[in-house]
A and B are shown apart, each in its own frame.
Chain A
Amino acid sequence: MVETDRHDNRLGFWGWFGGGRWDLERYAYTLHRVTGLGILFYFLLHTVVTSLRALGLYLWVEGGFFHRPIFKFGEFLVFAAFAYHALNGIRLVLVELGIAVGKPIEPVYPYKTSINVQRPLLIGMMVLAFILLAAGGYSFLGLSR
């Protein structure tokens, strides 16, 4: 078995949130994690609640908490988190695969960074996320009825 070096994360919790010199894309990544955790929390509860339909319990149609405005607003936040997480996730996969980060070049002064090359991808994905969010908001507010 290959031994791998372990490097302590000296930044601790700050390491989760600090963008350092990585600028906007790093904070987009941090928000990606925050939205991911929110979706995961909702998804685990959603799995349990919707599984109860096998026992004839349709809690979401019986009124109560699931029909309160606060829950509807929470559902919209989950939708917003999904819109952001999905489109930013596409960006992360493309960058991971080396797409949209530019071709490798010689490190000749003045140096160029790939972060500037991938910025249009971030902007494009955020525009798409906003359009999806607007469609969701239109439906959630009941304007489509």
Chain B
Amino acid sequence: MRDTKYWTWHMAAGVVILLLLGLHMLIMHVGGITHLFAPFGGEAVSKGNSLFRDGKLFFTITYIILLGAALYHGLYGLRTILYELTLHPATERVITFVFVVAGLALFALGTWAAVAAHFIAMARVGG
């Protein structure tokens, strides 16, 4: 029952990723066609365009949501693949623990970076 719940979250996270990563891909990797959210011209990944997006609260929030959804979806997916080998229960618990700790650490790092970059970008606009 609990695994069914986790699997449902896995699928729900996939839908969230589809929307947010789809937008990210349209901006970053099809930018030559779409020219979305890149007001300074050139490549979408240029420092000016990156700071422009970091200054928008919409992007800060969606980066954090995408980060959480992608970490859960990716690490739960990898855990499922490894569990198919029917490992020793103790090994399975270690895998789960390592993935939870690594996921939370990366989420903390990415969230801190998104918030810090937002304030840096805002300070530039203000200054």
Contacts and interface: CB of A to CB of B under 8 A. Distances in A.
Interface of A: 2, 6-9, 12-13, 15-16, 33, 36-37, 39-40, 43-44, 47-48, 50-54, 56, 58, 60-61, 75, 79, 82, 86, 89-90, 93, 96, 135-136, 138-140, 142-145
A32 to B, nearest CB: 9
Interface of B: 1, 11, 14-15, 17-18, 21-22, 25, 29-33, 45-47, 50, 54, 67, 70, 74-75, 77-78, 81, 84-86, 106, 109-110, 112-113, 116-117, 120
Contacts of B70: 43
B86 A53 contact: no
A140 B116 CA distance: 30
A7 B81 CA distance: 15
Nearest to A8: B86
- Residue with the greatest number of chain A CB neighbours at <10 A, chosen from B30, B47, B106: B30
A53 B31 contact: no
A107 B18 CA distance: 37
29 contacts: A2-B1, A9-B85, A13-B85, A15-B85, A37-B81, A40-B75, A40-B77, A43-B74, A44-B106, A47-B67, A47-B106, A47-B110, A50-B110, A51-B109, A51-B112, A51-B113, A53-B113, A56-B120, A58-B50, A60-B45, A61-B46, A79-B29, A82-B25, A86-B17, A86-B21, A86-B22, A93-B14, A96-B11, A139-B31
Given A136-B30, A140-B29, A37 B109 contact: no
Contacts of A138: 32-33
Contacts, number: 93
Contacts of A135: 30, 33
Contacts of A13: 85
A139 B29 contact: yes
Contacts of B21: 82, 86
Contact of A36 (B22, B74, B109, B110): B74
Contact of B120 (A39, A54, A96): A54
B100 to A, nearest CB: 15
Contacts of B46: 61
B113 A54 contact: yes
Contacts of A136: 25, 29-30
Contacts of A7: 86
Given A53-B117, A82-B21, A93-B14, A61 B45 contact: yes
